[in-house]
Amino acid sequence: MIRALPYATPLIPAFIVIGFFVWFANWIPQTRWEPPKVQAISEALTPQELAEVGRGIVRQRGCLACHTIEPGAGVKGGGRGPNLAGVAARRAQGVKDGPGDLVGYLAQTLYEPGAYVVEGYADIMPSSIAAPASLGYEEVVAVIAYLQSLGKSPTVKVGDVPRPAASARSAQPAGAATADPAAMFAALACEGCHSLKAGETKIGPALDAAGIKQAAAERGMSLEAFLMESIVDPKAYERKDFPSGVMPPDYGARMNATQLAAMVRYLAAPGGRP
Ligand code: HEC
Ligand code: HEC
């Protein structure tokens, strides 16, 4: 330790600078998505009590990154997904070619959003029982009670809502059966949230060559390392100007090493893509 000190002395200014940034990063008001607290939801709760719990879950688990709750605004609110106010009234009879009742429809929407895609919207809603929301069965019931309460009286109790079919669970998360990066970009739903064209902001930032290069520089990483980190561990570094906790955190498990390397090469090589 003593002998190491002389070598460390020239580094002291660097430590001060790093210390400043650590302090500064912690000082910025934290609006990050917090890991959900475990809710005690039992069969004893009334539909009203469940709705109150569900109200908190919808706020904590990222639903409002895409949805708005604007009474009287119709299906299209100001969000990326439909306005949830009034969903109970407009889906009282479920949907044509799908579940014919509100509770069945809402359960299907939460478990397998892609089974019925609301007209005018893209199929980008992640299953609520997979990351990032990762709702347990009781939490799904609470969310349904809350959605019912937006316009009607909640009626459901724990046990009244169907449990997810095995197919809904195993279908999520889905992998890709290809190592062609352009095909993966579509199959893994990247393109629902990212454009490859500069300035074209979707739910996430555009992944154009100049933009990601700048982001990598801001992160202080090589382009490839930054891309790798962004894909397998999106929470490691999140841009303040985009919603937090929205990019699925499980691509690391859904892509094998060959696919991951191909995707990184594809995004990093300006000439290798449109
Ligand atoms: C990444 C954006 C996104 C997130 C996050 C998201 N949704 Fe959605 N949601 C959508 C989109 C887009 C649609 C319409 C397309 C579809 O039906 O899949 C939708 C549809 C719905 C519908 C059907 C609305 C209707 O009018 O029929 C409900 C209910 C819903 N979402 C609830 C939720 C809840 C609850 C959560 C949180 C657990 C959530 N969503 C998270 C984007 C999102
Ligand atoms: C549901 C939306 C969504 C999906 C799907 C999604 N992303 Fe993202 N992604 C985001 C958001 C939001 C951010 C910005 C917040 C952050 O940094 O995590 C982001 C950030 C990134 C970044 C960092 C870019 C920068 O400028 O900081 C990369 C790289 C990236 N995503 C690649 C991908 C790839 C590749 C896929 C598909 C395998 C994918 N994303 C799927 C929403 C998404």
Name the closest-CA residue to atom 32, ligand 2: 231
The letter for the amino acid at 123 is D
Each residue's pLDDT tens digit, 243-253: 888 999 888 87
State the distance from the centre of ligand 1 to the C-alpha of 212, rounded, in angstroms: 28
- Is 0.85 topped by the overall pTM? no
Answer yes or no: is pLDDT of 44 > 90.
yes
Average pLDDT, the chain: 83
State the distance from the centre of ligand 1 to the C-alpha of 125, rounded, in angstroms: 5
Of 80-94, 101-115, 143-157, 171-185, the one with minimum mean pLDDT is 171-185
Each residue's pLDDT tens digit, 225-263: 899 889 988 988 888 889 888 999 888 878 887 788 889
Q: What is the atom index within ligand 2 of the atom nearest the CA of 235?
A: 18
Give the model's pLDDT for residue 127. 84
Name the closest-CA residue to atom 13, ligand 1: 81
* Encoded tokens for 97: 């070619």
Q: Is residue 239 lining ligand 2, measured as CB closer than 6 Å?
A: yes
In this prediction, residues 99-112 reach a mean pLDDT of 96
Each residue's pLDDT tens digit, 132-179: 677 999 999 999 999 999 988 999 999 999 998 876 665 445 566 788
Q: Which ligand sits nearest to residue 227's alpha carbon? A: 2
Q: How far is CA 212 from CA 32, 203, 207, 218, in A?
A: 22, 15, 6, 10
Give the model's pLDDT for residue 36. 46
Q: What is the atom index within ligand 2 of the atom nearest the CA of 234?
A: 18
Q: Is residue 36 lining ligand 2, measured as CB closer than 6 Å?
A: no
State the distance from the centre of ligand 1 to the C-alpha of 93, rounded, in angstroms: 18
Give the model's pLDDT for residue 172. 45
Q: Which ligand sits nearest to residue 211's alpha carbon? A: 2
Q: Is residue 205 lining ligand 2, measured as CB closer than 6 Å?
A: yes
Give the model's pLDDT for residue 259. 85
Q: Is residue 191 lining ligand 2, measured as CB closer than 6 Å?
A: no
Biggest CA-to-CA distance, the chain: 77
Residue whose tokens read 């498990």: 253
* Encoded tokens for 147: 């959605």
Mention every residue, 6+ apart, whose C-beta is less than 8 A from residue 246.
62, 65, 66, 132, 193, 203, 204
